[in-house]
Chains A and B, each alone.
Chain A
Amino acid sequence: MSTALSRPHVASTSSKLTLVLGVASLLGLAVLLVFSFVLTDPDQRVFERGADLEPLLTGQGDAVRLLYVHFPVAMVTYIAFTLNAIGSIAVLWKKSTWWDNTAAAAAEVGVLFCGLTLATGSIWGRPIWNTWWKWGDVRLMTTTILFLIFIGYLAYRRTMSDSRVRAKRSAVVGLIGAINIPIVYKSVDWWQNRTLHQQSTLRNRSVEDLTLFTMIFGMVVFMAIFAWLMVHRFRIGWLEHQTETVGLEAAIIERRAQTSAAISDAVTDSRSSAETGSD
């Protein structure tokens, strides 16, 4: 009788590394939720307007708790697409399957996080900016373009069966998409009057103490989650490559067997016809 302890391992993409990463991510997420909802205070910054005017409440209140998830998810998006760009360069330079696999994994995980960045930003924008979405906001538009380019990247990969051609062409698409990463990041500086977004919160040091700690801690937690997802997605890509290779090798062996059978049949036929002719 098998128990939970003596149960045999099921073949999977898991390993000790992913187990450690997974447990650390879940623990980190639990701690992040405590910091985000219990230990940090609502944002209640007050803008003093002079002796004859009432102070103006400029803080976000409890909506700031959404930034503890929106900011880390956005940072992971940048990391994922930058990793895709590094992988794409390595593919074109070294024609490496390992890097092609890394680039594909980073793109898929990056699309997930980019979608979540747009979703959480929209949910945060409704109570703070009084709108779910603003066409023309440069940060929103450039992020949406980035999202669509990498959805296209993933779709394009699926259209090609030859792994070498797929690696090369998708690397080019990945690099085209990568051009947009610094544009998204710097858009709030370059077009300040065409966005509702504030400039970099961390660079301008507009947050401090526990708020700053929670944002950075959130980034660390989501980077651990990203690493866990990347390792599993990379291994899936590796297995897909192996199934393609095994299938190709089986096809070559079958073709060789068919060819040698055809040759031996031809030899037998020519011998028998030669013997018939000599009779």
Chain B
Amino acid sequence: MDYLGYLISGWGVVLVAVAVYAFSLLRRGRALTARVPADRRRWMTTDD
């Protein structure tokens, strides 16, 4: 396959950036839910 380095770089930068951002959102979400009373968390999973 031609241009393999460009293909890996292009797809890689997108997949890695989206994955890192997605994990950062999950971490921010978990940290914030711990600070908000359960009755004020709408739509989200709460502690069992």
B-binding residues in A (CB < 8 A): 8-15, 17, 29, 33, 36-37, 42, 61-63, 65-66, 69-70, 73, 112, 115-116, 119-120, 123-124, 126-127, 225, 228-229, 232-233, 235-236, 238-240, 242-243, 245-246
Contact B29 A235 (CB under 8 A): yes
Return chain B residues, CB-CB under 8 Å to A242: 36-37, 40-41
- When distances are taken between beta carbons in the complex, the residues of chain A under 8 Å from B15 are 29
Residue numbers of B with Cβ under 8 A of A are 1-4, 6-7, 9-11, 13-15, 17-18, 21-22, 25-26, 28-30, 32-38, 40-48
Q: Knowing A9-B46, A112-B21, A239-B29, say if A73 contacts B14 (CB, 8 Å).
A: yes
Contact A235 B43 (CB under 8 A): yes
A236 / chain B contacts, CB cutoff of 8 Å:
25, 28-29, 32
Q: Is the CB of B47 within 8 A of A11?
A: yes
Q: In the assembled complex, which residues on chain B have CB atoms less than 8 Å from the CB atom of A73?
A: 14
A105 to chain B, nearest CB (A): 10
List A contacts of B18 (CB < 8 A).
112, 116, 225, 229
Question: Distance in Å from the Cβ of A240 to the closest Cβ of chain B?
Answer: 7
